[in-house]
Structure 1
């Protein structure tokens, strides 16, 4: 393995610099390139700020080479990471990498994990890391999901199994009551095993119980949106009060979904953006709040998703924009896989005068496929034999 030695203020982004490096002399020497090529010119603008680091020992060189070639880190990242972790031989880090690979970690995931928590390379694979991996696998989590979750945030691998992870699990089990739900929450954020539950989670749970939210809805919120349950208690309380003022029933799941939609600065920003997008389609404040009460997550859609859906329903199908107020859930459906195929069938039936023009969006888009086919395809197969082909996209509805 070629050792990297004595690098100081190296321009990593310009390996062809006219400065050359001489390891034996331990200094930079000016290249003879200038003498060979008198047309070499220097830019007037200052060079990018160099990466200032010093590699002065064989141990530094070994660590950097290992991080690059075995862990997949770019050279620049490896130099910076070597300031946090050092090793002289590959035995311990090799055993850690072998363990990770055997548990489904890809090279990219290993690189991400090492970059975030490099000192894990010095952990004991059998005594420290393996018991934690086995614990989560015992809950029913697959190796690919575990690798994806821990490479995204490997902090949990630095915590004690006995003093942090297991007690957190025991507490979550009293609320979620199944390992499947705990795994679902864990996939969304590892912090349900990291945070001090007495700080925010427990007070937030007690508040929801106090306002009358049933256990099933609390479990729903913690399972699918655990980050909302761990929000700062003061802010969480304000959101709960705001949702109550909007008229949500604490006994229904829409209450906790609305709380989630308002939790966090990011969600509030999305809420405000959606508000403006719906206004562009002629919705009033009351219309928007009405849709929000029916399906709170309609205020968490991307602008692109809303615009594409509204454009199709209003401009291509001719439905009034406020028709969607009564059924905002249709904005979540796939335009290509569900909405367009069904609406092509409806357009053919309209053109033949076989159904009324005022048919509701709910009736067309919400039934399961079997029910839709029975009601709008099979029922009219004698009058329009090609209707199934229209639905399957094999025939242009204009040619029927």
Structure 2
């Protein structure tokens, strides 16, 4: 429909509407409304179409994503969005990172560059976040750009920097868990970290928890303190990394449920309560593995390798290795060596699985390469079954 026709219809419809309002009953007038709804709908469709086109052509979104995102933002003209995109590109954002930001927070395109975006960028730069790191952090968590700089971002960042005692560690932490800056800091994370500090938990352990297992810090403070006391009674040393790992497994109700489900799986494989407690003390995260992962690993170790189930409880760390990429290739090599009489018995699973690839290859593959030329292919999984 041409612009001239739309204008004509709009003017004529307004004239008709005024006439009908003064001469026709409301019931009859109601039947005229579809014309106005059509005109309003036409305007809305045009605006929606402009937004969708802009998201595709200027932000790099796919047509499917643009259609979904367009219902969340109304771009009337390209001036402000263009200034936002230009600002992001000038600060090192790639087209892909800009697209991620827009998908997560499309209203970013309407933000005030000078008042909303620039002050936050400048603050992050001032505390050691590089122009390379910032796009990574923000593309994962665009909500950071909508939190108060003075009331949320600065207090959180300054506290975490004081805990970690290193800008390098702080940047590493927020690259992995930037949401920690926008969580309920004052009521949860902050008090929980202070509680661990007061117990003498060293900085390296606090850094480990904040960087890799921050979910455990989000528990309600009362419940968090109860979890800490429980872990202390179990004999965990606050100066060891296993202390914060155990807290991570116990501090949230959802984690406790995971521990209970995992315990049931271990019992199915013959572990006693003492076995379960021993495994938890050695590596608390073994109680947070999925039923599928535990079952597949235990089935391979017990039924295919002939390892006693209880032996795994003494070294639960081996359950974390990839079955396809690490466990099966290495065990396949050892089975060939045993069948050829080159190795007398199965080494401990720790000796077999924990060394890095380079050390394993040197000790168990290259050492016997001349006698068993196919070992390297077996290790790489290229031999036919």
Equivalent in the alignment of 1:267: 255
Identify the match of residue 181 of structure 2 among 164, 188, 193.
Answer: 193
Identify the match of residue 304 of structure 1 among 292, 306, 312.
Answer: 292
User: How is 1:21-32 mapped onto 2 (pairs within 5 angstroms)?
Assistant: 25-27=35-37
Q: Deviations along 1:81-121, whole A, 9 cap, x unmatched?
A: 35xxx564321123223434552253641442335xx2x33
Q: Deviations along 1:2-38, whole A, 9 cap, x unmatched?
A: 99x9xxxxxxxxxxxxxxxx9982357xxxxxxxxxx
Residue pair 1:188, 1:226 contacting (<8 A) in 2 also: no
Shift in Å at residue 77 of structure 1? 5.7
Equivalent in the alignment of 2:70: 78
Task: Provide the C-alpha distance between the structure 2 equivalents of 1:304 and 1:64, rounded to a whole number of angstroms.
Answer: 46
In structure 2, the CA distance between the partners of 1:77 and 1:373, relative to structure 1 (3 Å rule), is closer
Equivalent in the alignment of 1:339: 327
Please say if 1:173 is aligned against 2:164: no
Equivalent in the alignment of 2:246: 258
Task: Provide the C-alpha distance between the structure 2 equivalents of 1:112 and 1:75, rounded to a whole number of angstroms.
Answer: 11
Shift in Å at residue 196 of structure 1? 5.8
Task: Provide the C-alpha distance between the structure 1 equivalents of 2:40 and 2:317, rounded to a whole number of angstroms.
Answer: 59
Equivalent in the alignment of 2:149: 161
Please say if 1:113 is aligned against 2:123: no
Task: Provide the C-alpha distance between the structure 2 equivalents of 1:105 and 1:126, rounded to a whole number of angstroms.
Answer: 21
In structure 2, the CA distance between the partners of 1:55 and 1:334, relative to structure 1 (3 Å rule), is farther
Equivalent in the alignment of 1:373: 361
Residue pair 2:164, 2:203 contacting (<8 A) in 1 also: no
In structure 2, the CA distance between the partners of 1:98 and 1:23, relative to structure 1 (3 Å rule), is farther
Task: Provide the C-alpha distance between the structure 2 equivalents of 1:330 and 1:239, rounded to a whole number of angstroms.
Answer: 26
Task: Provide the C-alpha distance between the structure 2 equivalents of 1:168 and 1:27, rounded to a whole number of angstroms.
Answer: 50
Please say if 1:219 is aligned against 2:207: yes
Please say if 1:68 is aligned against 2:52: yes
In structure 2, the CA distance between the partners of 1:196 and 1:283, relative to structure 1 (3 Å rule), is closer
Equivalent in the alignment of 1:49: none
Shift in Å at residue 69 of structure 1? 2.4
In structure 2, the CA distance between the partners of 1:76 and 1:354, relative to structure 1 (3 Å rule), is closer
Please say if 1:104 is aligned against 2:94: yes
In structure 2, the CA distance between the partners of 1:381 and 1:65, relative to structure 1 (3 Å rule), is closer
Equivalent in the alignment of 2:20: none
In structure 2, the CA distance between the partners of 1:368 and 1:355, relative to structure 1 (3 Å rule), is same
Structure 1 runs of 4+ aligned residues shifted over 4 Å read 54-58, 60-63, 72-77, 145-149
Task: Provide the C-alpha distance between the structure 2 equivalents of 1:2 and 1:154, rounded to a whole number of angstroms.
Answer: 40
Q: Which runs of 5+ in 1 are unaligned?
A: 6-21, 29-53
Please say if 1:329 is aligned against 2:317: yes
In structure 2, the CA distance between the partners of 1:129 and 1:357, relative to structure 1 (3 Å rule), is same
Query: TM (normalized to structure 1)?
Result: 0.74
Please say if 1:239 is aligned against 2:231: no
Shift in Å at residue 357 of structure 1? 2.7
CA root-mean-square deviation:
3.4
Point out the structure with the larger helix share. 2
User: How is 1:34-73 mapped onto 2 (pairs within 5 angstroms)?
Assistant: 58=43, 63-71=47-55
Q: Deviations along 1:304-354, whole A, 9 cap, x unmatched?
A: 222221121112211112221111111111222222221112101211233
Query: TM (normalized to structure 2)?
Result: 0.77
In structure 2, the CA distance between the partners of 1:76 and 1:334, relative to structure 1 (3 Å rule), is closer
Task: Provide the C-alpha distance between the structure 2 equivalents of 1:77 and 1:158, rounded to a whole number of angstroms.
Answer: 18
Residues matched between the structures, number: 346
Question: Quick check: 317-326 or 123-132, which moved more?
Answer: 123-132
Task: Provide the C-alpha distance between the structure 2 equivalents of 1:24 and 1:123, rounded to a whole number of angstroms.
Answer: 36
Residue pair 1:310, 1:321 contacting (<8 A) in 2 also: yes
